[in-house]
Chains A and B, each alone.
Chain A
Amino acid sequence: MKTIKRYMRLYKVLIVQFFKVIMQSKVDFLMGLFGFFFTQITGILFLYLVFEQIPLLQGWSLEQLIFIYGFAQIPRSIDHLFTDNIWLVAWRLVINGDFDRYMLRPMNVFFQVIAEKLQPDALGELLVGSILVIHSCRKGIVVTDALHIGLFFVSIMAGALIYTSIKLFFASFAFWIKTSGPFLQVAYELADFAKYPTEMYAKGIQFLITWVIPFAFVAYLPASYFLGRGGFFGAGSSNVEVIGIECLIAGLFWCIAYSVFRKGISIYESAGN
Chain B
Amino acid sequence: MIEVRHVSKEFVSPKKYPGLKGAIKGLFSTEKVVKKAVEDISFTIQDGEIVGYIGSNGAGKSTTIKMMTGIMRPTSGECIVNGINPSAQRKKNAQEIGVVFGQRTQLWWDLPLSESFTILKEIYNVSDKDYTERMKFLNQVLQLDDFFDRPVRTLSLGQRMRADLGAALLHNPRVLYLDEPTIGLDLVVKDNIRAAIKEINEKYQTTVILTTHDIGDIEELCSRIIIIDEGKKIYDGSLEELKDTYGTRRTVSMEIKSPKEIVELDLPGKLGVTEQTCKVAFDEERKVLSVSFDKHKVQVPQVLGAVMELTEVSDIQIQETQLAEIVKEIYNHGLNQADS
Contacts and interface: CB of A to CB of B under 8 A. Distances in A.
Interface of A: 6, 9-10, 13-14, 17, 20-21, 24, 97-98, 100-101, 103-108, 266-270, 272-273
Interface in B70-94: 70-73, 87, 90-92, 94
B11 interface: yes
Contacts of B99: 104
Given A104-B94, A106-B92, A270 B110 contact: no
A10 B118 CA distance: 11
B92 A101 contact: no
B119 A24 contact: no
B108 A17 contact: yes
Nearest to B98: A104
Nearest to B116: A17
A81 to B, nearest CB: 21
Contacts of B62: 272-273
A107 B69 contact: no
Nearest to B93: A106
Interface in B104-134: 104, 106, 108, 110-111, 115, 118-119, 122-125
B232 to A, nearest CB: 18
Interface in B11-46: 11
B103 interface: yes
Given A24-B110, A100-B104, A107 B91 contact: yes
B170 to A, nearest CB: 12
The 3 residue pairs across chains A and B that have the minimum distance between CB atoms: A106-B94, A106-B95, A103-B71
Given A20-B111, A269-B11, A104 B122 contact: no
A105 B94 contact: yes
Contacts of A100: 66, 71, 101, 104
Contact of A103 (B58, B70, B95, B103): B70
A270 B103 contact: no
Contacts of B72: 268-270
Interface residues of B, number: 33
B91 A106 contact: yes
B106 A10 contact: no
Nearest to A96: B104
B22 to A, nearest CB: 19
B122 A270 contact: no
Nearest to B105: A101
Best-surrounded residue of B71, B92, B95, B118 (most CB of chain A within 10 A): B71
A107 B123 contact: yes
Task: Give the interface SS of chain B, mostly helix, strand, loop or mixed.
Answer: mixed
A168 B145 CA distance: 41
Contacts of A273: 62, 101, 103, 179-180
Interface in B39-71: 58, 62, 66, 69-71
Best-surrounded residue of A20, A100, A104 (most CB of chain B within 10 A): A104
Contact of B122 (A13, A24, A103): A13
A227 B111 CA distance: 48
Nearest to B211: A273
Interface string B164-186: 00000000000000011000000
Nearest to B58: A272
A266 B115 CA distance: 31
Given A100-B104, A269-B11, A270-B66, A106 B123 contact: yes
Contact of B71 (A10, A20, A104, A108): A104
A266 B67 CA distance: 11
A17 B115 contact: yes
Contacts of A103: 69-71, 90, 94
A9 B123 CA distance: 10
27 contacts: A9-B122, A13-B118, A13-B119, A17-B111, A17-B115, A21-B111, A97-B104, A98-B104, A100-B66, A100-B101, A101-B106, A103-B69, A103-B70, A103-B94, A104-B70, A105-B94, A106-B91, A106-B92, A106-B124, A107-B91, A107-B123, A268-B71, A270-B71, A272-B58, A272-B62, A273-B103, A273-B179
Contacts of A14: 119
Contacts of A9: 122
Given A103-B90, A107-B91, A273-B62, 19 more contacts: A6-B125, A13-B118, A17-B108, A17-B111, A20-B111, A21-B110, A98-B104, A100-B71, A104-B97, A105-B94, A106-B123, A106-B124, A108-B91, A266-B87, A268-B71, A272-B58, A273-B101, A273-B103, A273-B179
B110 A104 contact: no
B69 A104 contact: yes
A105 B106 CA distance: 10
Best-surrounded residue of B69, B92, B108 (most CB of chain A within 10 A): B108
